[in-house]
Amino acid sequence: MRILVVWCPDWSVVAALSEAERSPAEPAAVLAAGVVEVCNAPARADGVRRGQRRRDAQARCPELVLLEANPDRDVRHFEPVLETVEALRPGVASLRPGLLAVRAPGRWFGGEANAAAVLAETLVEAGVRDCRLGIADDLFTAEQAARRARAQECEVVAAGGSAAYLRELPVEVLEADGAEGREAVSLLRRLGLRTLGDLAGLPLDAVQDRFGRYGARVWRQARGESPTHLAARTPPPDLTAEIAFEPPLDSVEAICFSVRTTAERLVTELGSRQLVATGVRIEAEHDGAVASSRTWLHPRYFSVRDLVDRVHWQLQGSSSLRSRRDPGAVRAPVERVRFVPEVLEPAAAHSDGLWGGAGEELVERGVARVQAMVGFDAVTRPVLQGGRGPADRQTAVPWGERATGLRPRDRPWPGRIPGPAPCRVFADPLATEVRDDVGRAVAVTERGAVTGEPTRFRVDEAWQPVAAWAGPWPVDESWWSGGSGRASRFQVVGTDGRAWLLRCGPEGWRVEAGYD
């Protein structure tokens, strides 16, 4: 069995730029927890590298487009690539977004090179400009060949030539395996092993004793002896439902009334397959082109009413279709509305418990009615995320939308206020004053030292003695982007028993939160 691998470089950046409707020629990077995870070729040309922190990347490339990591987005945009390859050769295995493998077609296309050329041409026609292909006896060698091919070309490793091909490759190719691979590369360098051939020349027992199971697997890969097992995916059924309007409709209410039957057909079709949709892309066409497209997510699963409400919100919120004079009309008549299920889950995973879920359903219906009256983005729910200050640790997400791009909560976050968390967080911090025992204003030096012990502070225009205080917790954040810069936080308890979270920064003292 021969393996063909298709590699689309920097796929996370490609998908993020496409969703943001930005040019692929712009230097861009995808960040996770403030660290560059993936960057494209224009960014690398300016010195941006994977693993750099945000400020270092921006210092090297001030015009760098920063994008948040979103694995769901990467998978969603890679689905058309899988479908394109499946149309030519069934049995595609998706290794990760941007990388797929399939049994190499040969005789039908007149040879492996011809088959790769046909596949590359088809992908380019589908909009994938940078695709690279590799063919070899095993998956690891085929992937390395694809990574060394030029754009829209294929590198073919002759049958039985995997070991010779891999012998001169540097051990740095193992860094694609993630943290485990980077750790192994660091150790191999210290041991003086520079190429995969050096590693393959060692005894298996010695490699396994030093590197464990991962080292044994890499040793077999370097010798071209690793077995290949492709977990070919089953193409999802085509559950797209659409309706065409003849003549086109320019009334939002008329469009929503007309799409109800189509929404019912989609929900019924999913139910017959014991599936529910938790993510649906809704497209509205005008003049033969998609004028509005948005992917909607649901905390449970979409019902007919939910789908119709999303159509209503999308048409009213679309800048390309919304009428400025009449909110109930669209500026460009809609010719077709399409529902594309993108996230499908088993219906059993969302079934009600033994005693039903009437309470949750009533809440969801009530919130949906409020959203229908005031707008989708006007009804939000608080979500906890990582951060140092109490206001930084919370964000608002529209009801019915899943939270994405949040700051991770499991990071250390130096300077974070210890628990318990305050009960009230002021949207606009209150101005206050803090003075020491001789009446001087208390401040914090650049080295984080307090100029005097806080003895009284003023909240609500009334001075109050300080019964206890803790701090400071200094932070120096976002100064490069016009943020808060250097500041320090204090926990202060007044003689009345109430506790407050105070912040001393360039703008003076502020009350950020209260411990009621």
What is the Cα–Cα distance from 432 to 505, expressed in whole angstroms?
A: 12
Tally of structural domains, the chain: 4
Question: Does some domain include residue 88?
Answer: yes
Tell me which of 130, 156, 182 is where a domain ends: 156
Which structural domain range is residue 354 located in?
Answer: 241-376
What string of pLDDT tens digits covers the 516 residues of the chain? Answer: 788 889 999 999 999 998 888 888 899 999 987 888 889 999 999 999 888 898 899 999 999 999 988 888 888 888 888 888 888 887 888 888 888 988 887 666 678 888 888 888 888 888 888 899 999 888 888 888 998 898 888 888 888 888 888 888 888 888 877 778 888 888 888 888 888 888 888 888 888 888 788 888 888 888 888 777 776 666 566 788 999 998 888 888 899 999 999 999 999 998 888 888 888 899 999 888 888 888 888 877 888 988 998 898 888 776 556 555 555 566 678 899 999 988 888 887 666 555 555 556 666 667 766 766 676 677 788 888 887 778 778 888 887 676 777 778 777 777 777 777 788 888 888 888 888 888 888 888 888 788 888 888 887 777 888 888 888 888 876 655 555 568 888 888 888 888 888 888 888 888 888 887
Judge if 285 and 209 occupy the same domain: no
Judge if 17 and 140 occupy the same domain: yes
Judge if 12 and 138 occupy the same domain: yes
The beta-strand segments (E) located in 141-183 are: 154-156
Question: Does some domain include residue 41?
Answer: yes
Judge if 200 and 264 occupy the same domain: no
Q: How many residues does the chain have?
A: 516
Tell me which of 156, 187, 213 is where a domain ends: 156
Judge if 146 and 199 occupy the same domain: no
Name the phi and psi angles at 135, rounded to 5. Answer: -130, 135
Name the phi and psi angles at 84, rounded to 5. Answer: -65, -45
Judge if 443 and 477 occupy the same domain: yes
Helix (H) or strand (E) holding 492: strand 485-494
Q: Which residue matches tokens 């590699």? A: 7
Question: Does some domain include residue 187?
Answer: yes
First and final CA of the chain: distance in angstroms?
69
Please say whether the beta carbons of 113 and 157 come within 8 A. Answer: no
Judge if 52 and 190 occupy the same domain: no
Question: Does some domain include residue 97?
Answer: yes
Quote the DSSP letter at residue 175.
Answer: G
Name the phi and psi angles at 425, rounded to 5. Answer: -120, 120
CATH number for the domain that contains residue 201: 1.10.150.20
What is the Cα–Cα distance from 10 to 311, expressed in whole angstroms?
A: 33
CATH number for the domain that contains residue 138: 3.40.1170.60
CATH number for the domain that contains residue 297: 3.30.1490.100
Judge if 449 and 340 occupy the same domain: no
The string of DSSP codes covering 103-147 is EPP-GGGTSHHHHHHHHHHHHHHTT--S-EEEEESSHHHHHHHHH
Judge if 119 and 8 occupy the same domain: yes
Judge if 271 and 372 occupy the same domain: yes
What is the Cα–Cα distance from 41 to 53, expressed in whole angstroms?
A: 18
Helix (H) or strand (E) holding 217: helix 204-222
Question: Does some domain include residue 394?
Answer: no
Judge if 138 and 34 occupy the same domain: yes
Please say whether the beta carbons of 92 and 118 come within 8 A. Answer: no
pTM here?
0.53
Question: Does some domain include residue 265?
Answer: yes
Lookup: tokens for 212: 């464990």
What is the Cα–Cα distance from 474 to 446, expressed in whole angstroms?
A: 9
Tell me which of 360, 376, 392 is where a domain ends: 376
Question: Does some domain include residue 80?
Answer: yes
Judge if 149 and 7 occupy the same domain: yes
Question: Does some domain include residue 437?
Answer: yes
